[in-house]
Amino acid sequence: MTISEVPSSTEMLDRYAASRDLWPGGTLAFWHGESAPRPERVFWPETDEQAAAVLAEASQQGIPVVPYGLGSGVCGGARGREGSWSVDTKRLIKMGPLDEARWTVEVEAGVNGQQLEDALTSRGFTLGHSPSSISCSSVGGWAAARSAGQFSSKYGVFEDMVLGLTAATATGEVLKIGTHGDDDPALMPLLLGSEGTLGVITRCNLRVWKAPEARWLRGYRFSTIDDALDAMRRLMQAELWPSVVRLYDPIDTRIGGKTKPKASRKQGTKRWYRRWLSEIGQLDPIRRRTLALPLALPGVVNRLFEGIASGCLLIVGWEGRPAVVEALTAAGRSILEERGEDLGAGPGNRWYQSRHAVSYKLMPVFERGGFADTMEIAARWTDLPRVYRAVREAVTPHAVVLAHMSHVYPEGGSIYFSFAGRGSRSVYEAVWNAAQDAVLAQGATITHHHGVGALKAKWASAEVGAAVEGWREAKARLDPNGVMNPGRLFVPVPPRDAGPDPRLHETDGLVRFPVAATPEERAEECTRLGVEQMFPWEALPAPARWTRSHWQVGWTEVSGRVGAQHVRLGRGPRSATGPDLRPWLVAHGDCRCTVPVVPAGERWLGAAKVDRPWEVARELLRSDLRPAVLDVVDGELRVGFRGPACRQLGAVASRWVPGGLTERDWEAFTLPSGPLEPCATTDADCVAVTAQGGLRRART
């Protein structure tokens, strides 16, 4: 195939459309009269082979290639480049088939996120991926930047949803991995998060779920951030799996009026007065100057906000099958109401109705002579308060700053900072330098779901350190002439040693082991500490993401040496700092990794003799149950739960097992041993650990 067969354009408008993404730094430059670099030519491939042909020709000619989706990225990863070719995926828009038996869907990279979700909803399913940019972002962009949606605490981040992918590379190859084919599976975690530097992802096979039948949303007011964070941590480590957990800091809570009761008549008069002032503010001579003074004095404004702020709002929600939601919320409320004030369903429902509106509120700030931007990082539970304070302290002299905390997991979560400052390029750069330096200094990860792009490349390179060699090896294989999105993701920086592994605090729910530790050694150490592994995999590293359920956390931080340098990867949960290089690090060195654990608390185990037990096990998983134990021993189905909802969940499971479950002694149960490998079907020798299939476990 030649590139003459691929739809393309050299027209100015087409080149201009592919020159910018939604990076606020680019928008600031635009308001200062600076044009974004335009590509020389824009291609719209319609097949995998067409995409591979364009990349191969560009490689032969030494022409840089910038992959482009829907342009919603906020880090400059798809920004134009002089003399480049833009490979735009907007014509790769096939959806389907939706496999209602296996709960999977085939989707091309250019498909709009909201259109995909609408199509699934019409068939009674959901992807569970709900970024605020869902209506202006694409499936390929989600995969390329390791996106996370607002419901990641329940459904996982996007890479957890990918069972297979197809990608075109600059060598002219079309790679098919996972459920798509038998190409090297080690390339899957490298392509996901590669941001167009290794190839162009053209198609994905995704796991989907039945649309929730019930949804419970609530608001709680906490006196302090620390109290709220403690409640959030306990919810996740109790294996209650809420769909949404969002904490607004006191300033964000106060500015947004998020905990205010219903307006009285007097308050209604005040609102009328504010609307009248707003109308005055729209007069052009006034509008252009309304932000000049406050944004020129960020330190003063931050102190004023801190002076009037008190209390913070936590939004919590569960969704799924009604019986499961009822059991989980009952246990969750007992945790939340120890120190939180129940504000009713109003705050949660208001957030849910406006959850996608935030992406459209920034432009007025630029129009009035300022800038606005956001930064999302991630850290372990015990690090979150310290990182929050460090970033606020670093940014306060340069910009107004507020934050919310969301995307939480058993081992930690993400902080989403919002900045607003004077519309000066030097101020903008000072904010980012101060903020990202503070994040790295605290040992957290620089990005959770926005990716790296050009904006964060130098800090991303510092974070991964010498492990960048894993990406370089893949690049030498897939992009030998270095034409794929150069200057993005990773850039040359001075060598930076990660230093010794930080001490783990017991509340983080993590234990560190050598990768070579045996199951017996891990179990013995956990017993000594009074904890148990959430998912005691036979060996470390855990099975690949696409062969297990997204909520089965295999490992988090991995540390080891690459040459003379000490490296730590996964410094915050679900880091999006480029590809997942942890498997590469484990394969190339003597490593240690942290695995999630839970306190050895209340547990429940039930068993039953049933026909076709693996099919029953699969249906239990499809009913939103997430058992800690799910196995078949000598034809007997065994189902176990841990934590404060264990007995309620056991009762729900028993209703859905033919003949019910008989309670057994948990202590007498031993996990089966044997090798694990991907399995596409369930039968007498297969453990159904995902709703789509399972992990084959050898039986004797």
Residues in the chain: 700
Rounded CA gap, 538 and 548, in Å? 13
3-state secondary structure of 277: helix
Task: Write down the H helix ranges in 180-264.
Answer: 188-191, 225-237, 250-256
CATH number for domain 506-599, candidates 3.40.50.2300, 1.10.10.2520, 3.30.465.10, 1.10.1030.10: 3.30.465.10
Look up residue 466 and give its DSSP letter.
G
**Buried/exposed code over 139-152 (b: 16+ C-beta within 10 A; e: otherwise):** bbbbbbbbbbbbbb
> Cβ contacts of residue 249 below 8 Å, gap of 6+?
225, 309, 312, 388, 402, 403, 404, 405
pLDDT at 356: 82
pLDDT tens digits, one per residue of 665-685: 887 655 544 444 444 444 434
Tell me the C-alpha distance between 409 and 534, whole Å.
Answer: 13
- Kindly report, residue by residue over 140-163, the tens digit of the pLDDT: 999 999 999 999 999 999 999 999
If phi > 0 it is left, if psi is from -120 to 50 it is alpha, else beta; for residue 676 that is beta
Domains of the chain, by residue range, sit at 214-441, 506-599, 603-697
292 versus 676: which is more confidently predicted? 292
Q: How far apart are CA 451 and CA 404, in angstroms?
A: 18
Best CA proximity match to 204, nearest among 150, 134, 124, 127: 127
CA distances 267 to 273, 361, 460, 501, Å, are: 10, 25, 48, 53
Beta-strand runs (E) in 438-514: 510-514
- Assess whether pLDDT exceeds 90 at residue 471: yes
Is the CB of residue 535 less than 8 Å from the CB of residue 604?
A: no
pLDDT at 699 over 60: no
Residue 351, SS3 per DSSP: helix
pLDDT beyond 50 at 697: no
As a whole number of angstroms, the distance between CA 462 and CA 518 comes to: 32
Task: Beginning with the edge strand found earlier in the chain, give each strand of the sheet holding 85-88 in spatial order.
Answer: 8-9, 41-43, 85-88, 65-68
CATH number of 214-441: 3.40.462.40
Q: Does residue 494 have a pLDDT over 90? A: no
Average pLDDT over residues 543-571: 88
* The two three-digit tokens of residue 338, written as one number: 């120890």
Closest residue by Cα to residue 351 from 220, 464, 239: 220
Are residues 69 and 35 in contact, defined by beta-carbon separation less than 8 angstroms? Answer: no
% of the chain with per-residue pLDDT over 90: 70
Phi, psi of 513 (to 5 degrees): -130, 150
Maximum C-alpha span of the chain = 81
Q: Can you read off the two tokens belonging to residue 569?
A: 């990867």
DSSP state for residue 19 in the 8-state scheme:
S
Quote the pLDDT of residue 686.
42
* Residue 528 pLDDT > 60: yes
Residues ≥6 apart with Cβ < 8 Å to 233: 381, 408, 507, 509
Burial of 284 (0-12, 13-18, 19+ CB in 10 A): exposed
Q: Give the span between the Cα atoms of 374 and 75, in whole angstroms.
A: 10
Q: How far apart are CA 299 and CA 301, in angstroms?
A: 6
* Per-residue pLDDT band at 298 (split at 50, 70, 90): low
- What confidence score (pLDDT) does residue 687 get? 42
**Position 121, amino acid:** T
Q: Give the pLDDT of residue 691.
A: 53
Over residues 235-268, the pLDDT tens digits come to 999 999 999 999 998 877 876 555 554 444 445 5
Summarised one tens digit per residue, pLDDT across range 581-602 is 999 999 988 899 999 999 888 9
Q: How far apart are the first and last CA of the chain?
A: 52
Instruction: Give the pLDDT of residue 290.
Output: 52
Q: Which residues are CB-contacts of 560 (< 8 A; sequence separation ≥ 6)? A: 566, 567, 585, 586, 588, 589, 590, 591, 592
Instruction: With H, G, I as helix, E, B as strand and everything else as coil, classify residue 348.
Output: helix
